[in-house]
């Protein structure tokens, strides 16, 4: 038995805080349990009542003579902990805490929630909530509506979890109207114990659940979520509304990676990460329904080639526009299909896809043409549009399509631009009907999601390579940095760290004085670059701390002197903080040409380590053209990270240039990912620029900023 | 009397092709005219019937004894021209031709349509259609439903024009359910005579029409549309669904401007141009309704600061996300408001914006809190979200808001996440109610549109400057090019053209031989650039025809020799077309540094001349980061064109650089626009690169491609 079965498949339920007062949660919840015909025993618990809803009531849970699997708690917050103890002593294993007033109300509530969490754990219980509106399991052998929602659910094959209780209620309202049913519904509340990840795992192997919908406002453990979701989404589509797009506020950040994540980038990162694990993100609840209808009533298509059959041009054009913009293809019909359509249709009809049958087309025309199109191997799914003209009934058309879709293993979706009365009649007379939409765009979005799911299913997960690296060099470096009470590595140290992980770096030496610099310069290949090196100076260029393309030792010495002078003046003017240590010099191989890219990682409070890739220089600064992933990074992930930046064409070569070595760049990204995984103590790292060329032997990391966690 | 009044405000209507057969267009149209209670006389015309719909029928229009203002024609196509003649002899001034089978069916239909057009013009008539589904005017003194739609319209203050008849029917269906009424409805059909522009002008001064909605598949005269729409949108919001986003097919194009317009750019250009004239473009019919409801039931706000009042967190977060992403602001409440809300609400409520009252809030709480928020000067519009909990009626909340919105001149929109039954009751019991949406995003989109309209109203139209230019130089140039049977100007000629219009160009001289080049080089300032010049060679770099940064006359001579050799080889290899003329040399001032921008113009078959601005080099090639406008270009338009490119920050200065001289760049764009306006015979022109600097005196156009129309 799964531990969550005590919550979702109980034999007996105690409703603690059950009430007779109409309108109270304790009453409505009792009412729903009874009304929905729970297959098991329900025990109202209320010390002030002898019976509730015609059922004998008990003063406490422990006073119930029978075993109790699940306790649903709706008492005031002050009484919750006592009730938990009572349940614990009784041996109750499942809890749903409806009661609010915990961490969502501030510090004091947060403290009580901590106690609640501790107690639940101590008794070995599992808990949904607190601050939730309950749970449902529509399975015919369970039939549990343990919510206080005004709408009873339709049974179906969708698991739905909502982080907003109120939105959950609204969704149940609307779903019923749309003939959309659920296997499970869970209002998660504060997610103090049972999390979204727990529910995903629970539904992964549940034979009653084919599709998972989520309304989320925050991620608990994002890395774990990604691991789980990547696997599950291969079998069952996961559709998420993730709200809370507005950044909570700018964070102080010293690197581009951090800045991009904390500003508008955070939401872009969420998009990227959800895509990275096969989760289909939608913006609105409305789209969630559009997709739910599409998924729950259709097979997965074999490809992206859409057929459109219509009795009116306008909506077909709009469907085509939407399809193309979402990356679907309008399939080419075979000659045989075209000839057959030509035979079936009047001369003014258009028999290429979209097929416009003209307004006079009735049920038999729709049926014949839809069949011919479904038989065409060039069409993977069929969208049927109907604008009601006089005298032709939308219902007749739907009935014809219902028969066809049972004969063909292809998605068939309808768009009926008909009055509301039609939809009401459809739901009443034909529950479980095919997916029917009012607007063409909604239907096409659903088809897009079906196709996205197919692509994810067929996409290999790729291989996470482990490279031979020199891990001990990295460990020594970090020890030495920490021994000096520093957290920021110098550029030289940063490059050594990368080198240890097999990422090619520009040859560099350090000198702490002019004299030492002269000595080091002997035998060093020119042209060279000279940079000031100090953990306190982050933006070297701005303080005159960089000189490039030095061609002779003499030019080098002159540059070093100018640098000392410039830094000295700025120190005097207090532009730099006075504690900046005496700077040393970094003498570096000067790398010409190539494309600048940037590899970054920041530890995000939501996501954990977040890898970033982008074009460097002005591209990252002004265009924010970057992609995000979380480690571990499989080969295919690294390739996607590179391919998905807007300026990809620059790496592939413009104006007849040769493309850069993409395989080598992908490997560098995977090595970078391995470094980040091996050392969770790295708080932030940015390689910028990393210069890449058609020949991998020329690749060079030129600068690296690395910051360790406190 | 306006010429279109004969169509839209007739005293008497002849229905030519009226019929008794239920389900026929001729019968349904008669039925609608009578059913909707047309204020005037209706004459059925049908040689085979004595009476139709209880009304005496006539065999021809000329047989009608009374005057006839409007003839609605539903006879088969073969009979249409004869009917027109009959109408012409009778003196009918207005026509609505429902009959299809014209240019939409191919060449033969197109020829008949040309005859129809010619005849309509000859008789001095105005015609809507052919291939349309009719027109409506709901004015109480007209009451004309001359369509065959199954739904009678609600009266309202919206003028609606549709290029798709079927979509028009669907829209009438749905609008009625949403309690949205129209002043006029026009199915435009093939737009053979009366165009969208005609209707815009007709509605501009119509006191019954406050809002204009359009469903368009193509633009007739885009330049004229922009002129008209810019003016009208200042008074009445114009909302358009423009479909047909998919490019009809790639056009051969030799310049970036042309290529960008013909590829995905065309749709981007449409977006830009509609925005440029204040038209609000939406993607779907659903959004069209969302906006129509918002506009028709609310005043224009004074600003973009939105207040959100809710009884549930989730939908408010979603509303906030949408608002921020659309550029609206979530207003900051005054201390007084916050204190008052604190007094009204329980402690667990959130009293900063969005104000979350908690689920227990009833009508009186909603009323009191909404009032306090509307009184706050920091809030320009109010969005009220309600998720129905137990026992609190959504209708009660709406009634409270109805009272408030009459007291405050601010938009107040409701989101009621309630069952369909609520919406039905609302529409039945309270026609003309406030704007109520099912989902928060829809309401926020409507608020966004209200704010867009406010901004457009307040935005100055700017001034179109006319500069002193040397027009005769341009005329001479074009004459000379045409006299050589050329259409393509050389780079040198292109630069002279720009110079004549006051656009700064790099100093250049032409030499047709090495000897002449040597002579010209004397006294020419170095460093210089050398380019091969030939009307047949468009991509000079690719054929080795460009040498940059030549520092001495010797380097110049060597470069010229290499160039001759390289071109000769390629000619031999047939890489260049054999007819390429013997090349000459362009010796040019070599300009260092600056930012590359591109000024372009192409004549588009949809739009006429289309001006383009963007960052040059890789930006235009790979990122397609450009803006479009049509001439004439006011100062403010030129400034917007520059500001709206994605890489604007590069011009404003990154890494502490000084910004380029924006005023000078805007002036160059306006001079470029004037050139394009002065010479419609220019088919294509592209200045690339135009180098811009912080100091306008350094601005230089370095290359220009100009092609004249055939």
- B7 close contact with A: CB closer than 8 A: no
Residues A60, A45: Cα–Cα separation, whole Å: 6
- CA proximity to B70, closest of B98, B51, B50: B98
Please give the pLDDT value at position A307.
96
What are the distances in angstroms from CA A508 to CA A491, A591, A598, A700, B15?
Answer: 10, 12, 19, 11, 91
Give contacts of A 245-304 with B, CB under 8 A. 245-246, 283-286
Average confidence score pLDDT of chain A: 88
Cβ B169–A388 below 8 Å, yes or no?
yes
- CA proximity to A592, closest of A492, A700, A499, A688: A700
Contact present, B524 and B509 (Cβ < 8 Å):
yes
Residues B612, A420: Cα–Cα separation, whole Å: 46
Of B28, B417, B650, the CB nearest to A390: B28
Please give the pLDDT value at position A98.
95
The answer to whether residue B260 sits within a structural domain is no
Please check the confidence at residue A245 and state whether its pLDDT lies above 70: no
Cβ B173–A418 below 8 Å, yes or no?
yes
Cβ B622–A656 below 8 Å, yes or no?
no
- What CATH number does the domain containing A670 carry? 3.30.470.20
What number of other Cβ atoms are within 10 A of residue B454's Cβ? Answer: 18
Split at pLDDT 50, 70, 90, the class of A623 is low
In total, how many domains does chain B have? 4
Give contacts of B 680-709 with A, CB under 8 A. none
Split at pLDDT 50, 70, 90, the class of A248 is very low
Beta bridge partners of A611: A601, A629
B520 and B448 housed in the same domain:
no
Please give the pLDDT value at position B641.
93
- What CATH number does the domain containing A51 carry? 3.40.50.720
Helix pair A266-276, A222-232: axis angle to 10 deg: 40
B655 and B628 housed in the same domain:
yes
Contact present, A686 and A497 (Cβ < 8 Å):
no
B506 and B646 housed in the same domain:
no
Give contacts of B 651-680 with A, CB under 8 A. 654-656
Q: What is the DSSP annotation of A281-326?
A: EESSHHHHHHHHHHHHTSPPPSSSEEEEEES-HHHHHHHHHHHHHT
Helix pair B363-375, B335-344: axis angle to 10 deg: 170
A166 and A42 housed in the same domain:
yes
Residues B623, B596: Cα–Cα separation, whole Å: 14
Phi, psi at B708, each rounded to 5°: -95, 155
Residues A243, B321: Cα–Cα separation, whole Å: 7
In chain A, the residue whose alpha carbon lies closest to the alpha carbon of B419 is A173
| B656, two tokens | 């502490």
- CA proximity to A318, closest of A382, A265, A228, A385: A385
A487 and A583 housed in the same domain:
yes
C-alpha angle A640/A646/A650, rounded to 5°? Answer: 95
Residues of chain B with pLDDT under 70: 244-268, 389-391, 534-543, 568-583, 606, 618-623, 655
What number of other Cβ atoms are within 10 A of residue A443's Cβ? Answer: 29
Picking from B243, B618, B654 by the largest number of A CB atoms within 10 A of its own CB, the best residue to mutate is B243
Please check the confidence at residue A624 and state whether its pLDDT lies above 80: no
The answer to whether residue B224 sits within a structural domain is no
Please enumerate in sequence order all residues whose Cβ is within 8 A of that of A87, keeping only pairs 6 or more positions apart, or say none.
A14, A16, A61, A68, A71, A95, A123, A125
In chain B, the residue whose alpha carbon lies closest to the alpha carbon of A217 is B314
Please give the pLDDT value at position A580.
43
Residues A647, B165: Cα–Cα separation, whole Å: 43
Say whether B264 sits in a helix, a strand or coil: helix
Q: Percent helix, strand and coil across chain A, each rounded to 5?
A: 40, 20, 40
B362 and B476 housed in the same domain:
no
Contact present, A484 and A566 (Cβ < 8 Å):
no
B602 and B563 housed in the same domain:
no
Domain that includes residue A401, residue range: 304-458
Please enumerate in sequence order all residues whose Cβ is within 8 A of that of B432, keeping only pairs 6 or more positions apart, or say none.
B179
Q: What is the DSSP annotation of B588-608?
A: EEPPPSSEEEEEEEEEETTTE
Please give the pLDDT value at position B245.
55
Q: What is the pLDDT of residues A505-521, one digit of tens each?
A: 999 998 888 888 888 88
B424 and B394 housed in the same domain:
yes
* The domain boundary residue, chosen from B543, B572, B589: B589
Please give the pLDDT value at position B390.
63
| A47, two tokens | 């010390």
* The domain boundary residue, chosen from A161, A181, A209: A209
A626 and A541 housed in the same domain:
no
Please give the pLDDT value at position A710.
85
Please give the pLDDT value at position A373.
97
Percentage of chain A lying above the pLDDT 90 cut: 60
Helix or strand run (H / E) with residue B648? helix B648-652
The answer to whether residue B242 sits within a structural domain is no
Picking from A167, A330, A358 by the largest number of B CB atoms within 10 A of its own CB, the best residue to mutate is A167
Give contacts of B 294-333 with A, CB under 8 A. 311-315, 317-318, 320-322, 324-325
Picking from A21, A148, A170 by the largest number of B CB atoms within 10 A of its own CB, the best residue to mutate is A170
Give contacts of A 166-225 with B, CB under 8 A. 166-167, 169-170, 173-174, 176-177, 215, 217
The answer to whether residue A143 sits within a structural domain is yes
Beta bridge partners of B612: B600, B628
The answer to whether residue A219 sits within a structural domain is no
Whole-prediction pTM value?
A: 0.82
The answer to whether residue A278 sits within a structural domain is no
- CA proximity to A587, closest of A529, A523, A664, A673: A529
Cβ A162–B654 below 8 Å, yes or no?
no
A408 and A343 housed in the same domain:
yes
Residues B237, B227: Cα–Cα separation, whole Å: 15
Q: What is the pLDDT of residues A277-302, one digit of tens each?
A: 899 999 888 899 999 999 999 999 99
B321 contacts in chain A (CB < 8 Å): 243-246
DSSP B23: T
Contact present, B57 and B30 (Cβ < 8 Å):
no
Beta bridge partners of B215: B162, B241
Range ranked top by mean pLDDT from A255-269, A429-443, B264-278: A429-443
Contact present, A46 and A17 (Cβ < 8 Å):
yes
B393 and B538 housed in the same domain:
no
Phi, psi at A357, each rounded to 5°: -80, -10
Q: What is the pLDDT of residues A403-421, one digit of tens each?
A: 999 999 999 999 998 888 8
- Asked if omega into B234 is within 30° of 0 (cis), the reply is no
Contact present, B119 and B73 (Cβ < 8 Å):
no
Range ranked top by mean pLDDT from A37-46, A486-495, A550-559, B388-397: A37-46
- What CATH number does the domain containing B386 carry? 3.40.50.261
Contact present, B388 and B418 (Cβ < 8 Å):
yes
B319 and B406 housed in the same domain:
yes
- What CATH number does the domain containing B557 carry? 3.30.1490.20
Contact present, A563 and A513 (Cβ < 8 Å):
no
The answer to whether residue B572 sits within a structural domain is yes
- A94 close contact with B: CB closer than 8 A: no
* The domain boundary residue, chosen from A426, A458, A490: A458
Q: What is the pLDDT of residues A63-96, one digit of tens each?
A: 999 999 999 999 999 999 999 999 999 999 999 9
Q: What is the mean pLDDT of residues A671-693?
A: 95
* SS3 assignment for B96-144: EECCCCCHHHCHHHHHHHHHHHHHHHHCCCEEECCCCCEEEECCCCCCE
Residues A220, A606: Cα–Cα separation, whole Å: 7
Residues A235, A223: Cα–Cα separation, whole Å: 20
Split at pLDDT 50, 70, 90, the class of A543 is low
Beta bridge partners of B505: B701
What are the distances in angstroms from CA A578 to CA A252, A535, A582, B343?
Answer: 21, 13, 10, 51
- A101 close contact with B: CB closer than 8 A: yes
Q: A555, exposed or middle or buried, with CB in 10 Å at 0-12, 13-18, 19+?
A: middle
What are the distances in angstroms from CA B439 to CA A282, A283, B154, B353?
Answer: 14, 12, 24, 19
Please give the pLDDT value at position A537.
60
The answer to whether residue B480 sits within a structural domain is yes
Residues A245, A257: Cα–Cα separation, whole Å: 18
Please give the pLDDT value at position B262.
47
Please check the confidence at residue A62 and state whether its pLDDT lies above 80: yes
């Amino acid at each position: 038995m799964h531990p969550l079965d005590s919550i979702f498949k109980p034999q007996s339920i105690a409703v603690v805080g059950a009430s007779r007062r109409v309108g109270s949660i304790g009453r409505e919840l009792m009412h729903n349990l009874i009304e929905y015909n729970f297959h098991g025993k329900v025990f109202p618990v209320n010390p002030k009542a002898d019976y509730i809803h015609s059922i004998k009531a008990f003063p406490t849970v422990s006073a119930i003579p029978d075993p109790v699997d699940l306790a649903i708690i709706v008492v005031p917050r002050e009484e919750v902990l006592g009730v938990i103890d009572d349940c614990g002593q009784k041996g109750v294993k499942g809890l749903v805490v409806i009661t609010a007033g915990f961490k969502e109300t501030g510090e004091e509530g947060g403290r009580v929630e901590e106690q609640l969490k501790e107690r639940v754990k101590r008794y070995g219980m599992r808990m949904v909530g607190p601050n939730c509106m309950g749970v449902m399991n529509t399975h015919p052998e369970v039939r549990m509506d343990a919510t206080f929602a005004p709408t009873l659910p339709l049974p179906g094959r969708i698991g739905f979890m909502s982080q907003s209780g109120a939105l959950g209620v609204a969704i149940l309202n609307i779903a019923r109207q749309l003939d959309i049913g659920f296997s499970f519904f869970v209002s998660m509340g504060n997610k103090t114990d049972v999390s979204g990840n727990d529910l995903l795992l629970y539904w992964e192997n549940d034979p009653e659940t084919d599709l998972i919908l989520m309304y989320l406002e925050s991620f608990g453990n994002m890395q774990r979520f990604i691991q789980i979701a990547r696997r599950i989404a291969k079998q069952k589509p996961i559709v998420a509304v993730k709200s809370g797009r507005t950044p909570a506020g700018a964070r102080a950040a010293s690197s581009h990676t951090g800045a991009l994540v904390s500003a508008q980038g955070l939401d872009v990162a969420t998009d990227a990460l959800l895509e990275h694990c096969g989760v289909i993100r939608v913006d609105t609840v409305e789209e969630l329904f559009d997709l739910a209808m599409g998924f729950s009533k259709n097979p997965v298509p074999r490809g992206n080639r859409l057929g459109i059959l219509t009795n009116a041009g306008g909506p077909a054009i709009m469907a085509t526009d939407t399809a193309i913009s979402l990356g679907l293809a309008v399939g080419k019909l075979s000659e045989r299909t075209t000839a057959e359509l030509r035979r079936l249709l009047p001369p003014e009809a258009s028999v290429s896809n979209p097929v416009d049958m003209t307004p006079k087309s009735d049920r038999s025309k729709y049926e014949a043409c839809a069949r011919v199109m479904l038989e065409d191997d060039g069409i993977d799914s069929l969208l049927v549009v109907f604008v009601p003209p006089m005298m032709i009934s939308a219902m007749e058309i739907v009935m014809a399509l219902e028969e066809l879709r049972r004969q063909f293993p292809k998605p068939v979706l309808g768009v009926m631009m008909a009055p509301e009365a039609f939809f009401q009649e459809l739901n009443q007379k034909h529950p479980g009907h095919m997916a029917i939409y009012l607007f063409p765009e909604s239907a096409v979005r659903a088809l897009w999601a079906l196709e996205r799911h197919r692509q994810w299913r067929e996409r290999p997960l790729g291989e996470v390579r482990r490279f031979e690296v020199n891990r001990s060099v990295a460990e020594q470096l970090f020890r030495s940095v920490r021994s000096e009470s520093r957290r920021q590595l110098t550029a030289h140290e940063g490059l050594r760290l990368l080198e240890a992980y097999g990422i090619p770096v520009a040859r560099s030496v350090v000198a702490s004085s002019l004299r030492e610099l002269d000595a080091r310069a002997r035998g060093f290949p020119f042209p060279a670059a000279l940079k000031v090196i100090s953990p306190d100076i982050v933006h070297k260029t701005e303080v005159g701390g960089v000189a490039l393309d030095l061609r002779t030792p003499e030019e080098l010495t002159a540059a070093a002197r100018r640098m000392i002078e410039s830094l000295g003046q700025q120190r005097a003017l207090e532009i730099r903080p006075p504690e900046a240590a005496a700077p040393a010099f970094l003498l570096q191989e000067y790398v010409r040409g190539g494309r600048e890219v940037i590899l970054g990682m920041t530890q995000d409070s939501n996501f954990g380590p977040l890898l970033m890739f982008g074009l460097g220089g002005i591209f990252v600064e002004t265009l924010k053209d970057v992609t995000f992933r979380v480690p571990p990074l499989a080969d295919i992930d690294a390739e996607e990270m590179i391919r998905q930046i807007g300026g990809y064409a620059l790496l592939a070569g413009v104006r007849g240039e040769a493309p850069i070595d993409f395989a080598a760049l992908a490997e560098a990204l995977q090595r970078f990912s391995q470094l980040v995984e091996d050392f969770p103590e790295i708080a932030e790292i940015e390689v910028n620029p990393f210069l890449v060329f058609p020949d991998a032997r020329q690749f060079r990391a030129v600068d690296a900023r690395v910051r360790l966690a406190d």
